[in-house]
């Protein structure tokens, strides 16, 4: 089955700097790659997603890139702010099963 | 607000007991998913329903069961509870039954087994 690995597990950045989280997947049939943000006491919230026919997608300060050949995708957060502090999960789906990475705890230092 | 409603928010019970967690999906969504999140753990998929029918099963214990009703709300039943069942339980919904459509999560039910 699909195996999604996510790195790093924790990330501390200075406010205003960029944060990058990387994920790799094993199933070449995976075609949908969402990213979720989970704040303390809340459920995961979809923040951006990308499909396999697109190499990059951007939404304000967040962007996701996908390299199908290497089977990896990344989340980029620019100009980080304190409210970006949260746990971020990547996921990969092959139509039939959505598999999550283990999560990255991002802390933005003021 | 995701539109997915989970009740109760908190549940404290003793070992050996049985509890029922409830989920109302977003309006129009036909598929409901249940996930378990233990302390410092990721999201473990338990089970998925689509329009009342079981669609997929994950790492769900035999002591756990779920169903989706005609009005599309879902319930997760946990029985013979053990200390290790203490966790956050999330429900998510999507418009379709395929896993490449966006999932929208509720805020979870925190279960504490003492």
Residue of A nearest to B45 (CA): A99
Output the average pLDDT for chain A. Answer: 94
Residue of A nearest to B5 (CA): A43
CB-nearest to B107 from A42, A98, A100 is: A42
Q: Which residue has the tokens 């951007």?
A: A58
pLDDT tens profile B7-29: 999 999 999 999 999 999 999 99
Ordered DSSP codes for A55-101? SEEEETTEEEEEETTTTEEEEEE-S--GGG-EEEEEEEE-SS-EEE-
pLDDT average, residue stretch A79-93? 96
CA distance A17 to chain B (A): 26
pLDDT average, residue stretch A46-71? 94
CB-nearest to B99 from A36, A93, A103 is: A93
Q: Quick one: what percent of chain A has pLDDT higher than 70? A: 98
Residues of B in contact with A100 (CB under 8 A): 42-43, 45
CB-nearest to A46 from B56, B98, B104 is: B104
User: A43 and B100: CB-CB below 8 Å?
Assistant: no
Among B4, B7, B43, B96, which would you mutate to test the A interface (most chain A Cβ atoms within 10 Å of its Cβ)?
Answer: B43
User: B98 and A95: CB-CB below 8 Å?
Assistant: yes
Q: What does the alpha-carbon distance between residue A36 and residue A29 come to, in Å, rounded to a whole number?
A: 21
pLDDT at B97 (0 to 100): 65
pLDDT at A85 (0 to 100): 97
Q: What parts of chain B have a pLDDT lower than 50? A: none
pLDDT at B99 (0 to 100): 61
Ordered DSSP codes for A24-46? EE--TT--EEEEEEE-TTS--EE
pLDDT tens profile A8-42: 999 999 999 999 999 999 999 999 999 999 999 89
Half-sphere exposure in the Cβ direction for A108 (13 Å, CA): 18
pLDDT at A52 (0 to 100): 87
């Amino acid at each position: 089955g699909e195996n999604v690995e996510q790195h790093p597990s924790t990330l501390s950045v200075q406010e205003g700097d960029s944060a990058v989280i990387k994920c790799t997947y094993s199933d070449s049939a995976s075609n949908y790659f969402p990213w979720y943000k989970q704040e303390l006491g809340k459920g995961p919230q979809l923040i951006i997603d990308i499909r396999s026919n697109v190499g990059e997608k951007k939404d304000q300060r967040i962007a996701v890139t996908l390299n199908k050949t290497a089977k990896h995708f990344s989340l980029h957060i620019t100009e980080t702010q304190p409210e970006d502090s949260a746990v971020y999960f990547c996921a990969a789906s092959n139509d039939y099963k959505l598999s999550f990475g283990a999560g990255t705890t991002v802390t933005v230092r003021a | 607000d995701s539109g997915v409603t989970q009740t109760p928010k908190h549940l404290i019970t003793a070992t050996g007991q049985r509890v029922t967690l409830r989920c109302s999906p977003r309006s129009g969504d036909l598929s409901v998913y249940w996930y378990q999140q233990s302390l410092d753990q990721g999201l473990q998929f338990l089970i998925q329903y689509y329009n009342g029918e079981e669609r997929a099963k994950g790492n769900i214990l035999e002591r756990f069961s779920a169903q989706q009703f005609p009005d599309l709300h879902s319930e997760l039943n946990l029985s013979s509870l053990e200390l290790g069942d203490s966790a956050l339980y999330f429900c998510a919904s999507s418009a379709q039954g395929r896993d490449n459509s966006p999932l929208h999560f509720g805020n979870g039910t925190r279960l504490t087994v003492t």
